[in-house]
Chain A
Amino acid sequence: DSGVTQTPKHLITATGQRVTLRCSPRSGDLSVYWYQQSLDQGLQFLIQYYNGEERAKGNILERFSAQQFPDLHSELNLSSLELGDSALYFCASSVGRGGIDEQYFGPGTRLTVT
């Protein structure tokens, strides 16, 4: 158990809908990262927050947004969902700003868009 929690574990929704994925980092970790894992693209970095501020951005679509709250938990919002958004979404956390910090991954949320 990495200490990172994610809810829900599974989510099934229809195209065009909006969903929110939630992540609680390990105690003491200030950075939260979001990743998308699909069979064809592999594990791709979406976005990082450090202590409430956006720190780095990856291949995140404009339909997706995230935030980190004062208690350091984070939410990833996915809107206008398409079939291609079906994937595993992982949250990871680390102590510092990133780079060489070890990232601890949560168990993931499996999103299925029908």
Chain B
Amino acid sequence: QKEVEQDPGPLSVPEGAIVSLNCTYSNSAFQYFMWYRQYSRKGPELLMYTYSSGNKEDGRFTAQVDKSSKYISLFIRDSQPSDSATYLCAMSGGTGANSKLTFGKGITLSVRP
């Protein structure tokens, strides 16, 4: 079993839809949870970061973490064509040898105008 599993996609939605992206993980040592967005032919960029269970909101984006279920989600409200990209979840144990990021394989989202 991979440490981080992400819904494979691709995902296509109409403009204005609510998008839900999900990852599960198996390593209980993960403490920090991130979502990266990667546009075609670009490097990933950090979108959201959280370290506790619960919700964190930033504009149209909400990151949700459920440590008891080892499940994280990213919700995108009022999706826009500019949100079309690959979204990767990433996790880290925090410090020292556990500081490395472990990524999901990513899901490609397409928002249709």
Binding site for B on A (CB under 8 A): 2, 4, 33, 41-45, 48, 55-56, 58, 90, 92, 97-100, 102-108
The answer to whether B92 touches A4 (Cβ under 8 A) is: no
Closest-CB distance, A56 to chain B (whole angstroms): 5
Question: Chain A: which residue is nearest B102 at the CB level?
Answer: A45
How many residues on B have C-beta within 8 angstroms of the other chain's C-beta atoms?
Answer: 25
Binding site for A on B (CB under 8 A): 32, 41-46, 49, 51, 88, 92-106
Question: Chain A: which residue is nearest B95 at the CB level?
Answer: A99
Question: Chain B: which residue is nearest A46 at the CB level?
Answer: B100
Query: Which residues on A sit within 8 Å (CB–CB) of B100?
Result: 33, 45, 48, 56, 58, 98
The answer to whether A100 touches B45 (Cβ under 8 A) is: no
Known: A42-B105, A42-B106, A45-B100. A100 touches B43 (CB 8 A): no
The answer to whether A102 touches B43 (Cβ under 8 A) is: no
Query: Which residues on B sit within 8 Å (CB–CB) of A102?
Result: 46, 49
- What number of A-B contacts does a CB cutoff of 8 Å give? 65
**What are 15 of the A-B contact pairs (CB < 8 Å)?**
A4-B43, A33-B101, A43-B88, A44-B103, A45-B100, A98-B92, A98-B99, A99-B94, A99-B99, A100-B51, A100-B92, A100-B94, A104-B45, A107-B43, A108-B43
Bound Cα distance from A107 to B51, whole angstroms = 27
The answer to whether A105 touches B51 (Cβ under 8 A) is: no
Further contacts, 4 of them, CB under 8 A, given A90-B43, A92-B43: A41-B105, A43-B105, A45-B101, A99-B94
User: Which of A4, A41, A48, A105 has the largest count of B CB atoms less than 10 A from its CB?
Assistant: A105
**Which 7 pairs between the two chains have the least Cβ-Cβ distance?**
A105-B43, A98-B99, A42-B105, A99-B99, A43-B103, A99-B95, A45-B100
Query: Which residues on B sit within 8 Å (CB–CB) of A99?
Result: 32, 92-96, 98-99
Bound Cα distance from A42 to B106, whole angstroms = 7
